[in-house]
Amino acid sequence: MDVPLSYYLCLSAILFAVGAAGVLTRRNVIVVFMCIELMLNAVNLTLVAFSAYLGSIAGQVLVLFVMAVAAAEAAVGLAIVISVYRNRQSVDIDDINILKW
């Protein structure tokens, strides 16, 4: 039984909205991180869905790239978080505002 494309897109949109809302509202950097991952994966889902719908392999290839970048981003991001925590004893995103003029 085929699931229609619109189902995938709706699910993806919901996941993306949840992620975006989390990034904007949560203050814990770890949670913000997880929300970013959620948004990335929502996009991945869209790509795979379109790939299957259109019978093109390109979408799946792009997903692999996104996952590789996401892994790298998670590694660097968590390293920064640990470094910031060691310096400031905090992972609250509102405390981390040193990157300005």
Partner 1 sequence: MTGAELTGLAVLLPLAGFLLNGLLGAKLRSEALSGIAGSGAVAGSFCVACTCFVQLLGLPPGARTIDVPFFPWIAAGGLHADVAFQVDQLSVVMMLIVTGVGFLIHVYSIGYMHGDPGFARFFAYLNLFIVAMLILILADNFLLMFLGWEGVGLCSYLLIGFWYDRKFEKGTTADAAKKAFVVNRIGDFGFLVGMFLIFVTFGSLRFQTVFSQAAALQVGAPVATLITLALFLGATGKSAQIPLFVWLPDAMAGPTPVSALIHAATMVTAGVYMVARCSVLYALAPASMAVVAVVGAATALMAATIGLVQNDIKKVLAYSTISQLGYMFLALGVGAFSAGIFHVMTHAFFKALLFLGSGAVIHAMHDEQDIRRMGGLRSALPVTFWTFLAGTLAIAGIPPLAGFFSKDEILWNAFARGSWVLWLAGVAGAGLTALYMFRLVALVFTGEPRWEKGTHPHEAPPAMTVPLLVLALLSAIGGFAGLPESLGGSNAFERWLEPVFAPAAEKMALVGFPGAFTEYLLMAVSVAVALAGTFLAYAWYTKRTDVPGALVKKFSGIYRVLLNKYYVDEVYDGTVVRPAVKIADTLLWKGVDVAVIDGIVNGLARAAQGAGDALRRVQTGVARNYILVFLTGAFLLVGWLLVR
Number of residues that bind partner 1 (CB under 8 A): 12
Of residues 52 and 84, the one with the C-beta less far from partner 1: 84
Positions in 32-61 near partner 1 (CB under 8 A)? 32
Measured between alpha carbons, how far is residue 88 from residues 26, 92, 96 in Å?
19, 10, 9
d(CA 66, CA 73): 10
**Should residue 6 be labelled a site residue for partner 1 when binding is judged by CB under 8 A?**
no
For 96, phi then psi, to 5°, come to: -95, 85
- Give the residues lining the site for partner 1 (CB under 8 A): 20, 23-24, 32, 93-94, 96-101
